Amino acid sequence: MSTRVTDLIHRFEPAADATLPPLLLLHGTGADENDLIPLGRMVAPGAALLSPRGTVLENGMPRFFRRLAEGVFDEEDLRQRTDELAGFIHQAQAEYGIAAPVALGFSNGANIAASLLLRHPGLLRGAALLRAMVPFRETPPARLEGTKVLLLSGTADPIVPAANSAALAAILGDAGATVAHHPLPLGHGLSQMDVALTREWLAGFQETKA
């Protein structure tokens, strides 16, 4: 089922700098469409920002898809929610006149961004995945040549094991994506290192834009 822009609670900020790709901001568990707006402004000043709210509630906390336990995803629900989010992105592009976005996702938002890459290749121009996990036990076939991915993991992350982060980097790289994986001396939370690396990585899109 397609998702109209009006069906999904979200925020949109038009671009002040047309040379930057729009950012799709995907929040973590318990946050909402406002949470990553300040981060988006910091890492890509002037870029259009599209920030939807996750439609699943877990103990009253918004998420983008259900999970069975911490680190154990409801993959049927993940596939459904991913496809719904893809529909929202298409509608938002038409409604707001924006190009293919670069996703910037944290935790649960990074996980559904990884799912978007694998289930809808070409929908995203790239993705910055902050504290992401492998979304599927069996990886969907996808060709991601021309897609850039930044993966920032924490070596002391109690939620995402280092081996899982490395596996995700390998999966995306094997699918043809250009992956920059940086294991950082951090836990699950974000730091100024994440901000600096994401901003530097996003600057490459502006430099290569024709």
Annotated catalytic residues are 107, 157, 188
CA 155 to CA 63: how far, in whole Å? 24
Q: Which residue has the tokens 């994986």?
A: 181
- DSSP bridge partners of 23: 49, 102
Paired residues of 105 in beta bridges: 26, 129
- Side chain identity, residue 74: D
Helices (H), 12-161: 37-43, 75-96, 108-119
Entry field: residues in the chain: 210
Write the CA distances from 175 to 71, 169, 172, 199, 201, integer angstroms.
Answer: 23, 10, 5, 25, 20
Instruction: Answer whether 159's CB lies under 8 Å from 104's CB.
Output: no
